[in-house]
Amino acid sequence: MSDQALAGLNSDDRTIAEARRQMEICNACRYCEGYCSAFPALTRLRAFEDSDITQIANLCHNCRGCYYACQYTAPHEFDINLPQALADVRLESWERFVWPSGLAQLFHRHAWATTIATVLGFAVLFLVIRLLSTVGGEGFYAVLSHTAMVSIFLPAFLLPLISIVLGLQQYWAEVGGTRPTIKQVMGAFIQAANMKNLDGGHGEGCNFEHEDRYSDARRYAHQAVMYGFLLCFAATSVGTLLHYVFDMPAPYPLFSLPKLSGISGGLSLTAGCGWMLMLKSKSDKSLSSRQAYNAECAFIALLGFVGLSGLVLYWLGGTQSMPTLLAIHLGAVLAFFLLTPFTKMAHGFFRLAALVREEQQRDVG
């Protein structure tokens, strides 16, 4: 498509059209067909519908190996930059599918301000609740009652989950997904669990932060964040089970499952997020969505702060600063939950759906 024709399209259509142009060139070349899951999906097709481009974009892990292997990057007239083109499509798809979509666009435009204001606003709210109420209990429940915590955080957990489910339903319908088999779902989960596609398809790692040199650092950082988050979630889940089923309310001793899971998860989450921010600072920003860069950094910082503030709260939980630290930590957690559908956290759900759809398409083809 000519530059003049592209100029006549709206922003979303231009994003899709540019991705289609580059994918058609890649499909003719096929030098990178042994790379990540995006290329087998790409080379199965002769023409690219909008839904095909959305699916392939969500398969892409932005490992950038294809860019550094490509002979058609700038200054060649083809000007291939597939990692950026697919990153722009991913961002557009997340904003389009999530509900309400306007909040996603707002977050991507004002990510740092939104994140900081949300955390501080909720922290102040928790401090005000403490001043206006009289509670009794041990540990954190002496500051904010268990009933108040459940009343606040249960809706804050369910509403974003509903938003993501609605978005996934739209995505699944657009890419033509059918009812998956257990084998297909398990195949997708295994790929997600070991971050298979971050090895560049050849087992040597990706080119995210070292350009034409391979590295597994991004893969390990992602795994530290993912498993750290899952451990923290497990700590909360076990604590809930102990509270309601076994009548064993918090606080729990150090050598208990909630505490061991929470501390190890917090350490992994904090370290992983710090590592990811360092890698992003070293990466070539022209190979990802320029619009999403600040939003991605703000979200990673928020997620890392959730882990860090939890660790600090545990360390200083017996001091007079505990109520203030608890308010800050709960403010960060509440901000994380409510912002999740509009941040890069949503990419995990859409990428998993894309992997399931790829399993289906491989079975058919």
Whole-prediction pTM:
0.87
Comparing 71-80, 199-208, 280-289, 308-317, which segment has the lowest mean pLDDT? 199-208
pLDDT for the residue numbered 106: 82
Rounded to an integer, what distance in angstroms lies between the CA atom of residue 356 and that of residue 365?
A: 14
- Phi-psi sector, 219: left (phi>0), alpha (psi -120 to 50), beta: alpha
pLDDT for the residue numbered 137: 58
pLDDT tens digit string along 322-345?
888 989 999 999 999 999 998 888
User: Euclidean distance between the first and final Cα of the chain, in Å?
Assistant: 29
Rounded to an integer, what distance in angstroms lies between the CA atom of residue 348 and that of residue 351?
A: 5
Cα torsion for 56, 60, 66, 70, to the nearest 10°?
A: 40
- Contact by Cβ (8 Å): 36, 29: no
pLDDT for the residue numbered 2: 47
pLDDT for the residue numbered 365: 62
pLDDT tens digit string along 298-311?
999 999 999 999 99
